[in-house]
Amino acid sequence: MKSELEKLNNGDWYYFLDSAVVARKARAAQLCQDFNALPATDAAAQTAKIRDLFGTAGTRLSVQAPFHCDYGKNIHVGDDFLSNYNLTILDIAPVTMGNHVMIGPNVGIYTVNHPMTASGRREYKAKALPITIGNDVWLGGNVVILPGVTIGNNVVVAAGAVVNSDVPDNTLMAGVPAKAYQVTF
């Protein structure tokens, strides 16, 4: 029989109040709290703490506090990663971002979802799907990326958009739900 962490890692429905799942989330919460308590003027300490938290990170990494995540080790960013204030990444499944990604304030990247039925939610179930974000992507303020989405290269997601489906390269996304607009950048 699979453990709840094995179910989680396999993309199956899992019991999110399981002690191993809760412990993993508690570790990330503590590291986020430590990061968020660092002085805003101590970029070196902030970068070191975020590198501790993330699975992998390239060169030139800048994350503005506050920052929140569920695990941290499932977050992988390339070179020249920049996020503004109040980024939340629910990285139950992997979140992989390419090079030259810029993220505006109050953005949510959510790999996890819960059952649509009341009975499923009463069982404290969750399921996560990975999110992939390509190179040269800009997510405007208050953008939400939903589970399982892949965003291509050279994409701009306009402020306030909710992205619930894959995005091709060289696209502007806008609206709720976000719609694609082909543009020349």
Task: Report the chain (185 residues): mean pLDDT per 10 consecutive residues.
Answer: 95 96 96 97 96 97 97 98 98 98 98 96 97 98 98 97 96 96 72
Architecture of domain 4-182: 3 Solenoid (2.160)
Which helix (H) or strand (E) segment holds residue 15: the answer is: strand 14-15
Q: How far apart are CA 118 and CA 81, in angstroms?
A: 39
Sign of CA dihedral 93, 99, 104, 105: positive
Residue 181: what pLDDT? Answer: 83
CA distance 163 to 7: 26
Contact 72, 57 (CB under 8 A): no
Q: Which of 68, 76, 100, 114 is catalytic?
A: 114
Residue 68 annotated in active site: no
Tokens of 93: 């499944």
Identify the residue whose tokens are 């300490």. 45
Do β-strands 87-90 and 81-83 pair in parallel, antiparallel, or remain unpaired? unpaired
What is the per-residue pLDDT for 185?
64
